[in-house]
Amino acid sequence: MLDFSSLLLAAALSGTCLSITLLAIWFTTPMARFVLTVACGMLVLVAHVVLFWQYGRDPGPWLCQAVLALLSLGFLIICLSAMQYLGVRHYRSVVLPTVAAMAVCAAVTYFGLDGVGFILTYVAVTALLTVTGVLFWIQGGHDRRILLVVSFLSGTCALSFGLCAAMLVVKGQWVLGVAPDNWAERLNSVVAVACMTGLGALTLSLHHLQAQIELKAETLTDPLTGLMNRRALMSLYGERAFGPFMSVVMFDLDHFKRTNDVFGHPVGDKVLCRFAAVIRKYGRTGVDAFRLGGEEFALVMSRMTEEKAYDFASKIGVAFGAEVVPTPRGPLRSTVSGGIGFGEVGGRSLEDVLAEADRALYAAKNAGRNRVLVLDRASKADGSALRSA
């Protein structure tokens, strides 16, 4: 026969240790706010368990209300931490119903219907845990294995609280006067300890996973423009074979060194960011943009014919020529030159396609800049320069 008090104390000890661990992690990485939220939620649940243990020894109406309020509040905070981690901002859709349920629970408990109060609280907790599990099941986009385990634990814990509510309803225990004690409560205590321990361990895993994702994003992103960098280009396409409907266009801002010398590097940075903004404006599925370094940029285009790729790159060049950057010396217009390299039926390496695009870019600069050229395509190579409205 399981000792109910021992189970409660085990849950409190487990939650306290996990909370301390999570708080220590948050102190070292303050940006991981969801870790702090989980720790706070667990501390509230620890307070609930301690008061519930005391309520079992010396029941009282005010202590009962505190026990039920802390239980709902603790799982509300846990649910909010899941929303925080997953980037779901509709907090009020969870907070308002829970607060309403807590208010009703306090009212019925005040009038002596403590059994009804327990039922309402268990139902609210079941709903919160269900929402948490569903959010991780639907919204999670990283390591599905971890997120599915979180969903499973949340669902299991929700089921155990649902059973507690069902037992009280089936027995018609609308008024208790003491802490409920039945097989469902004992099972819930075991499940709660297991789920609390598992949730803490998975929170550490999610924190580690998020840190890895952020670190990878930093290493693959150009900090000035927000575009991907050369490392990202090699990571995504270094081993790819470029077929006939894939191409790379290399852009180089015209006279960029002179822009820096005359207007200063801050203005030069604005010009680079303005060109990145133009690329984003024309962004579409199948087009990845990269800043290779300095004033050099590249686009990898998939599922495009050679003609469409050329037209797409030319539109970006024309659009950038129409951009005006305000400076202390007056408005500044800049232009860009581009060269395109194409894949082929048998497949070409990124290195070969980049080399072709680089030769075409060199030809564009020699031809007067402010244009996009393609090697061995005389109709385009001999065309007029792009307008810079």
- Report the distance separating Cα 334 and Cα 175, nearest Å: 79
Q: What is the DSSP letter of 343?
A: -
Residue 377 has pLDDT above 60, yes or no: no
Name the β-bridge partners of 78: none
The pLDDT-based confidence of 389 (bands split at 50, 70, 90) is very low
Q: What is the pLDDT, as a whole number, of residue 289?
A: 94
Segment (H or E) for 11: helix 4-28
Over the stretch 252-286, which tens digit does the pLDDT of each residue have? 999 999 999 999 999 999 999 999 999 999 888 88
- Report the distance separating Cα 181 and Cα 164, nearest Å: 9
Q: Which amino acid is at 239?
A: E
Over the stretch 57-80, which tens digit does the pLDDT of each residue have? 888 889 999 999 999 999 999 999
Residue 103 has pLDDT above 70, yes or no: yes
Burial 46-74 (b: 16+ CB within 10 A, else e): bbbbbbbbbbbeeeeeeebbbbbbbbbbb
Q: Which amino acid is at 307?
A: E
**DSSP letter for each residue of 253-279:** ETTHHHHHHHH-HHHHHHHHHHHHHHH
- pTM (2 d.p.): 0.62
C-alpha closest to that of 382 among 371, 319, 250, 251: 371
Active site residues: 295
